[in-house]
Structure 1
């Protein structure tokens, strides 16, 4: 049986630091170990992240958000982006090796073995914490069967009715495709074994909501343009060339889908952290999103690698890690 690790961040900020609680236990059981620690003040870390993000988003990439035209020249170099990325990696790990955080690190090393399958949940509603590249934490890199995911500070388990059918039912929404290739996403999905897939290509709003309401779905998939805006960075998806929707505008249909057995939402689109935050209130069990804009090919290769691993009964978290690590060849 795999292990579940929960890192709970208390109220704080980068100027003052964060109290942190670590819980460790077997999957589907109560935690057997708990320890508290603290991450100290580190006001430079979000500034380094913001600097990396600004450089990255000014690279000449063919990405999935609606934004600069492809003809816009590169403003910065890839090497400059990589240099700040290395600085971010080093500063993050220095922070996580602070003496006040040592009890958490030592409990992790005491209770977890590198060969174990480990699901790590980082529980916080602090947006800047959610943005950090936690997969670069040296403990995650050392434990090859561990993967980290985000959760809000509060959550609720939803009880749903199980569907007796063996075939996985997928609702695949191919939204506004201006400047990107969503046909490749469709081709990848069509190769998935033991799946019944309904494709909606640039649907009208009513057609989309009717499909969500009228059938039971295991997986909701979206490919197309998405964005986040506002201080809370709430997410928006572009379902066709003329219409876009916030997740709030789909909440009743999606809540119904969750009670009917929706288990996973995959958004193969950019700037997905706002989507994830918007979905938090709907209590979908698992979500996969892109936190930053990525090139079209990267989004497609991630989907292919993930589905290949997932179809071979790899745990969802490890399928995500394998797909992410296989993308290194495209860097």
Structure 2
């Protein structure tokens, strides 16, 4: 699983600094870690810097016609003419650069360089590195830690954040399934496009997907109690203002505390990852961390549709194709740079919230696959949105072609000899059956034929004998009498009852 670094900032904050910073390094899955200590000085400028960055981030998107209203009761997209619009891209880019420089200057102080130096001594640039940052102060965890120069120098490292208290969750079922079980919640889609998320999930290999489209609380809670979810996915409106909230339909807004028991049971039964492909999700991640979920992916700020969809696409391709969880997130996050000409700071948004007591997942372990699945292939236009029309047209044409071929072969009778041979073989395999009590077979042997008066007999039975036979059988009111005797001559008028039988008895079937 690569190397693990847990960087604990303790009880510090921006204004007071972090008096005790502890870095624990597990090398090559060792049972005991190496521990290094240091400290970080006060950095009160981050309070104003982050607030300014957040304000300009929202203002910039509002100026471009998009922003999510930041209030406890609102989840709609709004174009507010009074909102600040006097922000330029150049000003915002300058602020981003300043943020990066200040963060790296803070992490380059002498009291912290001992940790940085020891990590670089024991880690190689080719190592897969999970770097988990924990802190009591949640504002510290909101920092864009991916800007740390350490990640630039170690291309296979990725940052995750965590609350300081964690433990492994109690699990009752960790056995892999034949397919990855995904519970996907598509909440209120007003003003956003959740259809693209749905199409991406439906194309995943080796999956059993359950979709809840704008469910109510009862339905959502009931599905959480079902056994064996591997991944919980949410797309829709969410917010971390005062408390984490998701809007599951156009009228119902929930906190995760309202799903607490269902979520606990899902984690107990094997839920390993939750993805909230929605706005401002850190408070949701903290609520799930309290329930000891192994890992969560959220967006740290409001996120445009195209950024959320692109991240999900790149992550699912990499993760289902065999990439480790952390490398799949980093690859997907960095690929968002291609959108930053239009959506500034897109690479800042995705963040892993990790329980350090849990191992990160592998896609193939979820579905008991010894070999990595074939990479997910997603058809897109240049906009990056999946196009179902092309897929549907191909399926329709294929169905018409196959149906036409089968009908043509059937009409020509090409398959008939094979069908008859197969039917004959199947009948031969049937077990020996006892005679049916409802059927009576009357046979005529040679002795009985010779016992008749020769002057009256024509064929196997004389008219007199046949008349007696039919009268006797008719006493039992049979539903049908089959006469398998060849008679190429007329019946004698001496036996009018036989003539009547042959002419009028509709239950008699003769050759």
TM-score by structure 1 length?
Answer: 0.95
Could you tell me whether the CA contact under 8 Å between 1:63 and 1:296 is conserved in 2?
A: no
1:316 maps to: 325
Which has the higher relative contact order, 1 or 2, with Cα contacts under 8 A spaced 6 or more apart? Answer: 1
CA deviations over 1:108-164 (Å, ceiling 9, x no partner): 111111100000110113111111000010001210000010110100101321134
Task: Report the CA distance between 1:64 and its aligned residue.
Answer: 6.1
1:6 maps to: 6
CA deviations over 1:251-276 (Å, ceiling 9, x no partner): 11000000100000000001011111
Could you tell me whether the CA contact under 8 Å between 2:12 and 2:135 is conserved in 1?
A: no
1:210 maps to: 222
Could you tell me whether the CA contact under 8 Å between 2:68 and 2:77 is conserved in 1?
A: no
1:16 maps to: 16
Q: What is the DSSP-based 3-state SS (H/G/I as helix, E as strand, rest coil) of the residue aligned with 1:11?
A: coil
Structure 1 residue runs of 5 or longer lacking an equivalent are: none
Structure 2 residue runs of 5 or longer lacking an equivalent are: 70-74, 341-511
Query: Aligned partners of 2:32 and 2:134: how far apart in 1?
Result: 15
Task: Report the CA distance between 1:63 and its aligned residue.
Answer: 5.2
C-alpha change, 1:139 and 1:3, in structure 2 (3 Å) is same
Task: Report the CA distance between 1:98 and its aligned residue.
Answer: 0.5
1:129 maps to: 140
Query: Aligned partners of 2:238 and 2:129: how far apart in 1?
Result: 31
Task: Report the CA distance between 1:74 and its aligned residue.
Answer: 6.6
RMSD: 1.5
Could you tell me whether the CA contact under 8 Å between 1:64 and 1:224 is conserved in 2?
A: no
Query: Aligned partners of 2:76 and 2:54: how far apart in 1?
Result: 15
Query: Aligned partners of 2:270 and 2:316: how far apart in 1?
Result: 20
- 2:92 maps to 1:91: no
Query: Aligned partners of 1:127 and 1:208: how far apart in 2?
Result: 29
- Name whichever structure is richer in strand by fraction: 1
Q: What is the DSSP-based 3-state SS (H/G/I as helix, E as strand, rest coil) of the residue aligned with 1:149?
A: strand
CA deviations over 1:207-238 (Å, ceiling 9, x no partner): 000011123200000000001122xxx21000
How do 1:96-175 and structure 2 match up within 5 A?
96-160=107-171, 161-175=173-187
Task: Report the CA distance between 1:17 and its aligned residue.
Answer: 1.2
Query: Aligned partners of 2:316 and 2:68: how far apart in 1?
Result: 20
Task: Report the CA distance between 1:177 and its aligned residue.
Answer: 0.6
CA deviations over 1:45-66 (Å, ceiling 9, x no partner): 2211111001001123535662
C-alpha change, 1:163 and 1:203, in structure 2 (3 Å) is same
2:508 maps to: none
Query: Aligned partners of 2:330 and 2:157: how far apart in 1?
Result: 8
- 2:292 maps to 1:283: yes
Give the aligned length.
328
1:199 maps to: 211
1:327 maps to: 336
2:466 maps to: none
Query: Aligned partners of 2:154 and 2:32: how far apart in 1?
Result: 20
1:261 to 256, 261, 270: 270
Task: Report the CA distance between 1:32 and its aligned residue.
Answer: 3.2
Could you tell me whether the CA contact under 8 Å between 2:11 and 2:136 is conserved in 1?
A: no
1:219 maps to: 231
Could you tell me whether the CA contact under 8 Å between 2:68 and 2:78 is conserved in 1?
A: no
